[in-house]
Amino acid sequence: MNTVVIGLAALALVPQPEKLVEKTGKVPANTPIRYETVLGIPPEGYRLTVAEGGITVASSDAAGKFYAGKTLEQLRQKEGKNNFYPCVEIEDAPAYPWRGVHIDDCRHFFGKETVKKVLDLMAQHKLNRMHWHLTEDQGWRVDIPGYPELVKYGAVRSASPRHGTHPSKGSKECAADLDGTKYGPYYYTEADLKEIVAYAADRFITIVPEIELPGHVYAALSAYPEFACNPGNLKDRDPRLVWGIEKDVLCLGNDQAIKFMENVLDYICRIFPGEVVHIGGDECPQVRWKTCPKCQARVKEIGIKDETELQAWITRHFVKFLEARGKRVVGWDEYLLGDVPASAIGMSWRAGGGGAGHRFMTPEECVKNGHDMVMTPRTHCYLDYNQGLKEDPFQYIGGLVTLEKCYSLDPCAGIPAELRKHILGGQCNNWSEYTWNVYDLEWKMWPRTCALAEVFWLGDKKPDFADFKRRMAEHRRRLIAAKVNCAPLE
Protein backbone atom coordinates (compact mmCIF):
# COMPACT_ATOMS: atom_id res chain seq x y z
CA MET A 1 0.00 0.00 0.00
CA ASN A 2 1.44 3.29 -1.09
CA THR A 3 -0.60 6.08 0.50
CA VAL A 4 0.93 9.53 0.79
CA VAL A 5 -1.19 12.32 2.20
CA ILE A 6 -0.10 15.79 1.20
CA GLY A 7 -2.22 18.73 2.33
CA LEU A 8 -5.86 17.64 2.08
CA ALA A 9 -7.66 15.61 4.72
CA ALA A 10 -7.24 11.87 4.19
CA LEU A 11 -9.69 10.44 1.67
CA ALA A 12 -12.22 7.74 2.46
CA LEU A 13 -12.20 5.35 -0.49
CA VAL A 14 -13.81 1.92 -0.04
CA PRO A 15 -12.39 -0.29 -1.35
CA GLN A 16 -9.07 1.44 -0.97
CA PRO A 17 -7.18 1.55 -4.29
CA GLU A 18 -4.06 -0.57 -4.56
CA LYS A 19 -1.80 2.47 -5.00
CA LEU A 20 -2.98 5.93 -4.05
CA VAL A 21 -0.91 9.09 -3.97
CA GLU A 22 -2.76 12.15 -2.72
CA LYS A 23 -1.47 15.42 -4.16
CA THR A 24 -2.09 19.04 -3.32
CA GLY A 25 -4.71 20.89 -5.31
CA LYS A 26 -8.14 20.16 -6.68
CA VAL A 27 -10.06 20.43 -9.94
CA PRO A 28 -13.72 21.26 -10.62
CA ALA A 29 -15.91 18.17 -10.91
CA ASN A 30 -16.96 19.15 -14.44
CA THR A 31 -13.37 18.93 -15.72
CA PRO A 32 -13.49 16.85 -18.94
CA ILE A 33 -12.04 13.35 -18.62
CA ARG A 34 -9.53 12.03 -21.16
CA TYR A 35 -9.86 8.26 -21.69
CA GLU A 36 -7.01 6.10 -22.96
CA THR A 37 -6.79 2.42 -23.78
CA VAL A 38 -3.50 1.07 -22.49
CA LEU A 39 -2.76 -2.59 -23.14
CA GLY A 40 -1.00 -4.16 -20.21
CA ILE A 41 -3.22 -2.67 -17.53
CA PRO A 42 -4.73 -5.77 -15.82
CA PRO A 43 -8.36 -6.76 -16.45
CA GLU A 44 -10.77 -4.49 -14.54
CA GLY A 45 -7.82 -2.30 -13.51
CA TYR A 46 -7.28 1.38 -14.25
CA ARG A 47 -4.96 4.32 -13.80
CA LEU A 48 -6.55 7.56 -12.74
CA THR A 49 -4.77 10.91 -12.65
CA VAL A 50 -6.54 13.95 -11.31
CA ALA A 51 -4.23 16.92 -11.80
CA GLU A 52 -4.68 20.61 -12.35
CA GLY A 53 -3.85 19.95 -16.02
CA GLY A 54 -6.84 17.59 -16.35
CA ILE A 55 -8.26 14.17 -15.52
CA THR A 56 -7.00 11.06 -17.29
CA VAL A 57 -8.36 7.51 -17.07
CA ALA A 58 -6.40 4.67 -18.62
CA SER A 59 -7.56 1.07 -18.78
CA SER A 60 -7.30 -1.95 -21.03
CA ASP A 61 -11.01 -2.80 -20.81
CA ALA A 62 -14.42 -1.24 -20.29
CA ALA A 63 -14.72 -2.60 -16.73
CA GLY A 64 -11.54 -0.75 -15.71
CA LYS A 65 -12.91 2.48 -17.17
CA PHE A 66 -16.16 1.90 -15.25
CA TYR A 67 -14.32 1.33 -11.96
CA ALA A 68 -12.27 4.51 -12.45
CA GLY A 69 -15.64 6.27 -12.64
CA LYS A 70 -16.73 4.63 -9.38
CA THR A 71 -13.53 5.82 -7.71
CA LEU A 72 -14.18 9.35 -9.00
CA GLU A 73 -17.68 9.23 -7.48
CA GLN A 74 -16.12 8.56 -4.07
CA LEU A 75 -13.45 11.22 -4.57
CA ARG A 76 -16.00 13.90 -5.35
CA GLN A 77 -16.28 16.55 -2.64
CA LYS A 78 -18.36 19.63 -2.09
CA GLU A 79 -17.22 23.11 -1.07
CA GLY A 80 -20.15 25.53 -0.82
CA LYS A 81 -21.99 25.17 -4.10
CA ASN A 82 -18.99 23.76 -5.95
CA ASN A 83 -18.09 20.11 -6.51
CA PHE A 84 -14.45 19.21 -6.99
CA TYR A 85 -12.01 16.32 -7.08
CA PRO A 86 -8.85 16.39 -5.01
CA CYS A 87 -5.72 15.78 -7.05
CA VAL A 88 -4.58 12.15 -6.89
CA GLU A 89 -2.67 9.51 -8.75
CA ILE A 90 -4.18 6.05 -8.55
CA GLU A 91 -3.10 2.73 -9.96
CA ASP A 92 -5.59 0.02 -9.18
CA ALA A 93 -6.60 -3.52 -10.10
CA PRO A 94 -8.45 -6.31 -8.28
CA ALA A 95 -6.71 -9.13 -6.46
CA TYR A 96 -9.51 -11.59 -7.36
CA PRO A 97 -11.79 -11.95 -10.39
CA TRP A 98 -14.81 -13.24 -8.37
CA ARG A 99 -16.10 -10.60 -5.97
CA GLY A 100 -19.56 -11.77 -5.13
CA VAL A 101 -22.76 -11.03 -3.29
CA HIS A 102 -25.36 -13.76 -2.83
CA ILE A 103 -29.03 -12.93 -2.41
CA ASP A 104 -31.53 -15.51 -1.13
CA ASP A 105 -34.82 -14.44 -2.72
CA CYS A 106 -36.57 -17.65 -1.60
CA ARG A 107 -37.07 -17.67 2.16
CA HIS A 108 -38.12 -14.06 1.83
CA PHE A 109 -38.63 -12.34 -1.50
CA PHE A 110 -37.09 -8.93 -2.13
CA GLY A 111 -38.21 -8.15 -5.67
CA LYS A 112 -36.81 -6.23 -8.60
CA GLU A 113 -36.35 -2.78 -7.05
CA THR A 114 -34.38 -4.13 -4.10
CA VAL A 115 -32.27 -6.32 -6.37
CA LYS A 116 -31.47 -3.27 -8.51
CA LYS A 117 -30.48 -1.29 -5.42
CA VAL A 118 -28.20 -4.17 -4.39
CA LEU A 119 -26.65 -4.13 -7.88
CA ASP A 120 -26.07 -0.36 -7.70
CA LEU A 121 -24.35 -0.71 -4.34
CA MET A 122 -22.32 -3.68 -5.54
CA ALA A 123 -21.03 -1.62 -8.48
CA GLN A 124 -20.05 1.21 -6.14
CA HIS A 125 -17.88 -1.27 -4.24
CA LYS A 126 -16.44 -2.91 -7.38
CA LEU A 127 -18.27 -6.19 -6.72
CA ASN A 128 -18.92 -8.11 -9.91
CA ARG A 129 -20.90 -11.34 -9.34
CA MET A 130 -24.46 -11.52 -8.04
CA HIS A 131 -25.21 -15.08 -7.04
CA TRP A 132 -28.99 -15.23 -7.21
CA HIS A 133 -30.52 -18.00 -5.07
CA LEU A 134 -33.82 -18.53 -6.90
CA THR A 135 -35.09 -21.93 -5.75
CA GLU A 136 -35.43 -23.50 -2.32
CA ASP A 137 -37.51 -25.74 -0.06
CA GLN A 138 -39.55 -22.71 1.00
CA GLY A 139 -40.09 -21.02 -2.36
CA TRP A 140 -39.52 -21.27 -6.13
CA ARG A 141 -39.06 -17.80 -7.58
CA VAL A 142 -38.74 -18.16 -11.32
CA ASP A 143 -41.44 -18.83 -13.90
CA ILE A 144 -40.33 -21.67 -16.21
CA PRO A 145 -42.15 -22.16 -19.53
CA GLY A 146 -43.94 -25.50 -19.69
CA TYR A 147 -44.12 -25.87 -15.88
CA PRO A 148 -46.95 -23.55 -14.78
CA GLU A 149 -47.45 -25.35 -11.46
CA LEU A 150 -44.01 -24.23 -10.28
CA VAL A 151 -45.21 -20.73 -9.55
CA LYS A 152 -48.83 -21.73 -8.89
CA TYR A 153 -47.76 -23.91 -5.94
CA GLY A 154 -44.03 -23.35 -5.44
CA ALA A 155 -44.04 -19.54 -5.27
CA VAL A 156 -46.60 -19.29 -2.46
CA ARG A 157 -46.61 -20.87 0.99
CA SER A 158 -49.53 -20.95 3.38
CA ALA A 159 -47.54 -19.71 6.39
CA SER A 160 -44.04 -18.86 7.67
CA PRO A 161 -42.36 -18.93 11.08
CA ARG A 162 -43.30 -15.94 13.24
CA HIS A 163 -40.62 -13.38 14.09
CA GLY A 164 -38.54 -14.66 16.98
CA THR A 165 -39.50 -18.33 16.65
CA HIS A 166 -37.59 -21.29 15.28
CA PRO A 167 -40.22 -24.01 14.72
CA SER A 168 -39.13 -27.37 13.39
CA LYS A 169 -41.24 -29.55 11.14
CA GLY A 170 -43.45 -31.99 13.01
CA SER A 171 -42.78 -30.46 16.44
CA LYS A 172 -45.68 -29.75 18.82
CA GLU A 173 -44.84 -26.03 18.79
CA CYS A 174 -44.77 -25.90 15.03
CA ALA A 175 -48.38 -24.87 14.36
CA ALA A 176 -48.35 -22.26 17.15
CA ASP A 177 -45.12 -20.76 15.84
CA LEU A 178 -46.42 -20.32 12.30
CA ASP A 179 -47.98 -17.00 11.36
CA GLY A 180 -50.90 -18.42 9.36
CA THR A 181 -50.31 -15.78 6.69
CA LYS A 182 -50.11 -16.64 3.02
CA TYR A 183 -46.72 -15.61 1.62
CA GLY A 184 -46.78 -14.98 -2.11
CA PRO A 185 -47.14 -15.82 -4.90
CA TYR A 186 -43.78 -14.10 -5.40
CA TYR A 187 -41.65 -14.83 -8.44
CA TYR A 188 -39.79 -13.30 -11.40
CA THR A 189 -41.16 -13.42 -14.93
CA GLU A 190 -38.94 -13.76 -17.98
CA ALA A 191 -39.23 -10.01 -18.58
CA ASP A 192 -38.10 -9.35 -14.98
CA LEU A 193 -35.12 -11.66 -15.35
CA LYS A 194 -34.04 -10.04 -18.59
CA GLU A 195 -34.40 -6.59 -17.05
CA ILE A 196 -32.19 -7.56 -14.11
CA VAL A 197 -29.59 -9.23 -16.34
CA ALA A 198 -29.34 -6.06 -18.46
CA TYR A 199 -29.26 -3.79 -15.40
CA ALA A 200 -26.42 -5.86 -13.95
CA ALA A 201 -24.49 -5.94 -17.24
CA ASP A 202 -24.61 -2.14 -17.40
CA ARG A 203 -22.76 -2.22 -14.07
CA PHE A 204 -20.23 -4.89 -15.10
CA ILE A 205 -21.94 -7.44 -12.87
CA THR A 206 -22.57 -10.98 -14.01
CA ILE A 207 -25.59 -12.74 -12.55
CA VAL A 208 -24.90 -16.30 -11.40
CA PRO A 209 -28.34 -17.94 -11.21
CA GLU A 210 -28.73 -20.81 -8.76
CA ILE A 211 -31.13 -23.71 -9.29
CA GLU A 212 -30.70 -26.03 -6.31
CA LEU A 213 -30.44 -29.77 -6.86
CA PRO A 214 -30.79 -32.53 -5.78
CA GLY A 215 -31.74 -31.18 -2.31
CA HIS A 216 -33.48 -27.95 -1.27
CA VAL A 217 -36.09 -28.60 -3.99
CA TYR A 218 -39.20 -29.04 -1.85
CA ALA A 219 -41.03 -26.05 -3.38
CA ALA A 220 -40.62 -27.64 -6.84
CA LEU A 221 -41.79 -30.97 -5.44
CA SER A 222 -44.87 -29.27 -3.98
CA ALA A 223 -45.73 -28.35 -7.58
CA TYR A 224 -44.72 -31.71 -9.09
CA PRO A 225 -44.89 -34.34 -6.30
CA GLU A 226 -44.20 -37.10 -8.82
CA PHE A 227 -40.53 -35.97 -8.88
CA ALA A 228 -40.10 -36.92 -5.19
CA CYS A 229 -39.22 -40.39 -3.90
CA ASN A 230 -42.41 -40.36 -1.79
CA PRO A 231 -45.03 -38.25 -3.63
CA GLY A 232 -47.48 -38.89 -0.78
CA ASN A 233 -45.38 -36.62 1.49
CA LEU A 234 -46.27 -33.69 -0.77
CA LYS A 235 -50.02 -34.08 -0.98
CA ASP A 236 -50.81 -30.68 0.56
CA ARG A 237 -48.95 -29.01 -2.37
CA ASP A 238 -47.38 -26.48 0.03
CA PRO A 239 -43.66 -25.54 0.08
CA ARG A 240 -41.81 -26.18 3.34
CA LEU A 241 -43.23 -23.80 5.98
CA VAL A 242 -40.36 -23.86 8.48
CA TRP A 243 -36.67 -23.15 7.96
CA GLY A 244 -34.03 -25.89 8.11
CA ILE A 245 -33.20 -28.77 5.79
CA GLU A 246 -35.91 -30.80 4.04
CA LYS A 247 -35.52 -34.57 3.76
CA ASP A 248 -37.69 -34.91 0.65
CA VAL A 249 -35.37 -34.33 -2.29
CA LEU A 250 -35.29 -35.01 -6.03
CA CYS A 251 -35.81 -38.70 -6.89
CA LEU A 252 -32.67 -39.61 -8.81
CA GLY A 253 -34.17 -42.92 -9.94
CA ASN A 254 -36.87 -41.08 -11.91
CA ASP A 255 -35.81 -40.10 -15.45
CA GLN A 256 -38.71 -37.63 -15.64
CA ALA A 257 -37.43 -35.79 -12.55
CA ILE A 258 -34.00 -35.46 -14.17
CA LYS A 259 -35.58 -34.35 -17.46
CA PHE A 260 -37.48 -31.68 -15.52
CA MET A 261 -34.23 -30.27 -14.09
CA GLU A 262 -32.65 -30.39 -17.55
CA ASN A 263 -35.51 -28.34 -18.96
CA VAL A 264 -35.25 -25.82 -16.14
CA LEU A 265 -31.49 -25.46 -16.60
CA ASP A 266 -31.77 -25.28 -20.38
CA TYR A 267 -34.10 -22.30 -19.95
CA ILE A 268 -31.80 -20.72 -17.34
CA CYS A 269 -28.86 -21.02 -19.78
CA ARG A 270 -30.86 -19.15 -22.40
CA ILE A 271 -31.95 -16.32 -20.08
CA PHE A 272 -28.69 -15.77 -18.21
CA PRO A 273 -25.78 -15.02 -20.57
CA GLY A 274 -23.09 -15.29 -17.84
CA GLU A 275 -20.47 -18.01 -17.99
CA VAL A 276 -21.42 -19.72 -14.73
CA VAL A 277 -24.54 -21.52 -13.47
CA HIS A 278 -24.89 -22.62 -9.83
CA ILE A 279 -26.54 -25.98 -9.14
CA GLY A 280 -26.57 -25.87 -5.34
CA GLY A 281 -25.68 -29.35 -4.10
CA ASP A 282 -25.48 -28.47 -0.39
CA GLU A 283 -27.19 -30.18 2.54
CA CYS A 284 -28.81 -32.99 0.60
CA PRO A 285 -30.09 -35.68 3.01
CA GLN A 286 -29.85 -39.19 1.59
CA VAL A 287 -32.52 -40.82 3.72
CA ARG A 288 -35.26 -40.93 1.05
CA TRP A 289 -32.87 -42.34 -1.58
CA LYS A 290 -31.89 -45.16 0.80
CA THR A 291 -35.42 -46.56 0.87
CA CYS A 292 -36.66 -45.54 -2.60
CA PRO A 293 -36.89 -48.54 -4.98
CA LYS A 294 -36.22 -46.31 -8.01
CA CYS A 295 -33.15 -44.69 -6.46
CA GLN A 296 -31.82 -48.06 -5.32
CA ALA A 297 -32.37 -49.45 -8.84
CA ARG A 298 -30.31 -46.50 -10.13
CA VAL A 299 -27.50 -47.24 -7.65
CA LYS A 300 -27.40 -50.83 -8.99
CA GLU A 301 -27.71 -49.81 -12.64
CA ILE A 302 -24.69 -47.49 -12.51
CA GLY A 303 -22.75 -49.81 -10.21
CA ILE A 304 -21.93 -47.34 -7.45
CA LYS A 305 -21.49 -48.09 -3.78
CA ASP A 306 -23.59 -45.53 -1.95
CA GLU A 307 -25.76 -42.42 -1.99
CA THR A 308 -22.79 -40.02 -1.85
CA GLU A 309 -21.75 -41.52 -5.17
CA LEU A 310 -25.35 -41.10 -6.34
CA GLN A 311 -25.11 -37.35 -5.73
CA ALA A 312 -21.72 -37.28 -7.52
CA TRP A 313 -23.41 -39.10 -10.45
CA ILE A 314 -26.09 -36.41 -10.82
CA THR A 315 -23.45 -33.68 -10.43
CA ARG A 316 -21.42 -35.25 -13.25
CA HIS A 317 -24.57 -35.42 -15.34
CA PHE A 318 -25.33 -31.72 -14.93
CA VAL A 319 -21.72 -30.59 -15.30
CA LYS A 320 -21.70 -32.35 -18.68
CA PHE A 321 -25.16 -31.00 -19.55
CA LEU A 322 -24.21 -27.40 -18.75
CA GLU A 323 -20.73 -27.54 -20.25
CA ALA A 324 -22.35 -28.71 -23.51
CA ARG A 325 -24.24 -25.39 -23.38
CA GLY A 326 -21.04 -23.40 -22.94
CA LYS A 327 -21.36 -22.90 -19.18
CA ARG A 328 -19.15 -23.59 -16.19
CA VAL A 329 -20.77 -25.07 -13.12
CA VAL A 330 -20.45 -23.94 -9.52
CA GLY A 331 -21.90 -25.60 -6.43
CA TRP A 332 -21.62 -25.59 -2.66
CA ASP A 333 -18.60 -27.56 -1.42
CA GLU A 334 -20.43 -30.81 -0.53
CA TYR A 335 -21.12 -31.39 -4.22
CA LEU A 336 -17.39 -31.96 -4.82
CA LEU A 337 -17.46 -35.16 -2.74
CA GLY A 338 -16.88 -38.18 -4.98
CA ASP A 339 -15.95 -38.42 -8.61
CA VAL A 340 -16.71 -34.91 -9.88
CA PRO A 341 -14.84 -33.34 -12.85
CA ALA A 342 -12.06 -30.91 -11.96
CA SER A 343 -13.78 -28.28 -14.12
CA ALA A 344 -16.54 -27.95 -11.48
CA ILE A 345 -16.08 -24.85 -9.30
CA GLY A 346 -16.67 -25.17 -5.54
CA MET A 347 -18.07 -22.61 -3.19
CA SER A 348 -16.43 -23.28 0.17
CA TRP A 349 -18.91 -22.39 2.90
CA ARG A 350 -18.69 -25.01 5.63
CA ALA A 351 -15.43 -23.86 7.25
CA GLY A 352 -14.83 -26.88 9.41
CA GLY A 353 -17.82 -29.19 9.03
CA GLY A 354 -21.60 -29.45 8.90
CA GLY A 355 -23.75 -29.89 5.83
CA ALA A 356 -26.34 -32.65 6.50
CA GLY A 357 -23.67 -35.09 7.69
CA HIS A 358 -21.45 -34.92 4.63
CA ARG A 359 -17.71 -35.35 5.12
CA PHE A 360 -16.02 -31.93 5.18
CA MET A 361 -13.54 -31.17 2.41
CA THR A 362 -11.06 -28.42 3.18
CA PRO A 363 -10.48 -25.77 0.51
CA GLU A 364 -6.95 -27.18 0.24
CA GLU A 365 -8.29 -30.66 -0.55
CA CYS A 366 -10.62 -29.18 -3.20
CA VAL A 367 -7.89 -27.21 -4.99
CA LYS A 368 -5.56 -30.23 -4.84
CA ASN A 369 -8.31 -32.09 -6.73
CA GLY A 370 -8.05 -29.36 -9.38
CA HIS A 371 -11.19 -27.37 -8.57
CA ASP A 372 -11.36 -23.60 -8.72
CA MET A 373 -12.90 -22.27 -5.51
CA VAL A 374 -14.88 -19.27 -4.37
CA MET A 375 -14.32 -18.65 -0.67
CA THR A 376 -17.43 -17.94 1.32
CA PRO A 377 -16.73 -19.42 4.75
CA ARG A 378 -19.63 -18.95 7.16
CA THR A 379 -17.15 -17.79 9.79
CA HIS A 380 -16.44 -14.60 7.79
CA CYS A 381 -18.95 -14.28 4.95
CA TYR A 382 -22.39 -15.19 6.34
CA LEU A 383 -24.11 -11.88 6.84
CA ASP A 384 -27.22 -13.53 8.33
CA TYR A 385 -24.99 -14.20 11.37
CA ASN A 386 -25.09 -11.74 14.25
CA GLN A 387 -22.79 -8.75 13.74
CA GLY A 388 -22.14 -8.13 17.45
CA LEU A 389 -23.51 -4.58 17.65
CA LYS A 390 -24.11 -2.87 20.98
CA GLU A 391 -27.75 -2.45 19.96
CA ASP A 392 -29.48 -4.30 17.19
CA PRO A 393 -33.23 -4.49 16.53
CA PHE A 394 -32.93 -7.23 13.92
CA GLN A 395 -33.05 -11.00 14.23
CA TYR A 396 -30.24 -13.28 13.06
CA ILE A 397 -29.94 -17.00 12.43
CA GLY A 398 -27.20 -17.16 15.12
CA GLY A 399 -23.40 -17.17 15.00
CA LEU A 400 -21.15 -14.13 15.21
CA VAL A 401 -19.50 -12.43 12.23
CA THR A 402 -18.32 -8.98 13.26
CA LEU A 403 -17.07 -6.29 10.88
CA GLU A 404 -13.53 -6.98 12.05
CA LYS A 405 -14.00 -10.70 11.42
CA CYS A 406 -15.13 -10.01 7.85
CA TYR A 407 -12.09 -7.82 7.31
CA SER A 408 -9.77 -10.53 8.64
CA LEU A 409 -10.68 -12.99 5.87
CA ASP A 410 -7.77 -14.27 3.81
CA PRO A 411 -9.31 -16.16 0.87
CA CYS A 412 -6.00 -17.97 0.31
CA ALA A 413 -5.47 -19.07 3.92
CA GLY A 414 -4.11 -22.61 4.05
CA ILE A 415 -3.63 -22.85 0.27
CA PRO A 416 -0.09 -23.65 -0.95
CA ALA A 417 1.34 -20.84 -3.09
CA GLU A 418 1.40 -22.91 -6.29
CA LEU A 419 -2.34 -23.67 -5.96
CA ARG A 420 -3.55 -20.14 -5.18
CA LYS A 421 -4.45 -19.59 -8.81
CA HIS A 422 -7.47 -21.83 -8.05
CA ILE A 423 -8.87 -19.31 -5.58
CA LEU A 424 -11.15 -17.20 -7.75
CA GLY A 425 -12.16 -14.89 -4.93
CA GLY A 426 -14.93 -14.71 -2.40
CA GLN A 427 -18.51 -13.81 -1.71
CA CYS A 428 -20.83 -12.43 0.98
CA ASN A 429 -23.88 -14.65 1.55
CA ASN A 430 -27.22 -13.16 2.54
CA TRP A 431 -29.48 -16.03 3.58
CA SER A 432 -32.94 -14.69 4.30
CA GLU A 433 -34.72 -16.93 6.79
CA TYR A 434 -34.54 -14.11 9.33
CA THR A 435 -34.39 -11.24 6.87
CA TRP A 436 -37.83 -9.96 5.91
CA ASN A 437 -37.31 -6.85 3.79
CA VAL A 438 -34.91 -4.33 2.31
CA TYR A 439 -34.27 -2.47 5.63
CA ASP A 440 -33.34 -5.67 7.36
CA LEU A 441 -31.25 -6.85 4.40
CA GLU A 442 -29.30 -3.60 4.15
CA TRP A 443 -28.62 -3.48 7.89
CA LYS A 444 -27.05 -6.91 7.69
CA MET A 445 -25.19 -6.25 4.42
CA TRP A 446 -23.64 -2.87 5.22
CA PRO A 447 -20.98 -2.12 6.38
CA ARG A 448 -19.86 -5.78 6.44
CA THR A 449 -20.07 -6.02 2.64
CA CYS A 450 -17.69 -3.04 2.43
CA ALA A 451 -15.12 -4.94 4.49
CA LEU A 452 -15.39 -8.01 2.29
CA ALA A 453 -15.41 -5.96 -0.92
CA GLU A 454 -12.06 -4.52 0.18
CA VAL A 455 -10.71 -7.99 0.98
CA PHE A 456 -11.73 -9.28 -2.47
CA TRP A 457 -10.32 -6.19 -4.20
CA LEU A 458 -7.02 -5.86 -2.35
CA GLY A 459 -6.28 -9.42 -1.18
CA ASP A 460 -3.13 -9.45 0.95
CA LYS A 461 -2.45 -5.79 0.08
CA LYS A 462 -5.25 -4.64 2.36
CA PRO A 463 -4.24 -2.22 5.12
CA ASP A 464 -5.00 -2.90 8.79
CA PHE A 465 -8.49 -2.88 10.28
CA ALA A 466 -7.97 0.51 11.98
CA ASP A 467 -7.28 2.09 8.59
CA PHE A 468 -10.41 0.47 7.10
CA LYS A 469 -12.50 1.55 10.07
CA ARG A 470 -11.41 5.17 9.75
CA ARG A 471 -12.40 5.26 6.08
CA MET A 472 -15.56 3.25 6.77
CA ALA A 473 -16.82 5.75 9.35
CA GLU A 474 -16.75 8.42 6.62
CA HIS A 475 -18.04 6.10 3.92
CA ARG A 476 -20.99 5.14 6.14
CA ARG A 477 -22.15 8.76 5.95
CA ARG A 478 -22.12 8.41 2.17
CA LEU A 479 -24.24 5.26 2.36
CA ILE A 480 -26.72 6.81 4.78
CA ALA A 481 -27.02 9.87 2.48
CA ALA A 482 -27.84 7.43 -0.33
CA LYS A 483 -30.70 6.04 1.83
CA VAL A 484 -28.94 2.77 2.65
CA ASN A 485 -29.88 1.37 6.06
CA CYS A 486 -26.24 0.86 6.98
CA ALA A 487 -25.58 -0.48 10.51
CA PRO A 488 -23.11 1.24 12.83
CA LEU A 489 -19.53 -0.05 12.93
CA GLU A 490 -19.86 -1.42 16.45
Residues that bind ligand ACM (CB under 6 A): 282-283, 332, 349
User: 105 CB contacts (<8 Å, ≥6 apart)?
Assistant: 115, 132, 133, 134, 139, 141, 188, 432
Which entry of Zn ion, ligand ACM, none binds 253, CB below 5 to 8 A by partner kind?
Zn ion
Distance CA(391)–CA(407), nearest Å, equals 21
Q: State the DSSP string of 193-258.
A: HHHHHHHHHTTT-EEEEEEEESSS-HHHHHH-GGGBS-GGGGTT-----SSS--S--B-TT-HHHH
Minimal distance, residue 385 CB to ligand ACM, in Å: 11
Minimal distance, residue 293 CB to ligand ACM, in Å: 29
DSSP 157: B
Distance CA(467)–CA(473), nearest Å, equals 10
The helix/strand/coil state of 88 is strand
Which entry of ligand ACM, Zn ion, none binds 372, CB below 5 to 8 A by partner kind?
none
> Which of 453, 431, 446, 451 minimizes the C-alpha distance to 487?
446
Mark 419-458 with x for binding to Zn ion (rule: CB under 5 A) and - for no binding. ----------------------------------------
Minimal distance, residue 218 CB to Zn ion, in Å: 14
Q: Is 229 in the site for Zn ion (CB under 5 A)?
A: yes
Minimal distance, residue 435 CB to ligand ACM, in Å: 14
Comparison of 313 and 349: residue with beta carbon closer to ligand ACM: 349
Minimal distance, residue 334 CB to ligand ACM, in Å: 8
Whether omega before 214 lies within 30 degrees of 0, making that bond cis, reads yes
Minimal distance, residue 332 CB to ligand ACM, in Å: 4
Comparison of 283 and 440: residue with beta carbon closer to ligand ACM: 283
User: 337 CB contacts (<8 Å, ≥6 apart)?
Assistant: 308, 311, 312, 358, 359, 361
At 209, give phi and psi (nearest 5°).
-75, 140
User: What residue number has its CB nearest to ligand ACM?
Assistant: 282
Beta strands 345-348 and 373-375, pairing class: parallel
Which entry of Zn ion, ligand ACM, none binds 332, CB below 5 to 8 A by partner kind?
ligand ACM
In the list 57, 90, 115, 251, the residue contacting Zn ion (rule: CB under 5 A) is: 251
Comparison of 92 and 282: residue with beta carbon closer to ligand ACM: 282
At 278, give phi and psi (nearest 5°).
-100, 130
Q: Is 237 in the site for Zn ion (CB under 5 A)?
A: no
Mark 291-330 with x for binding to Zn ion (rule: CB under 5 A) and - for no binding. -x-xx-----------------------------------
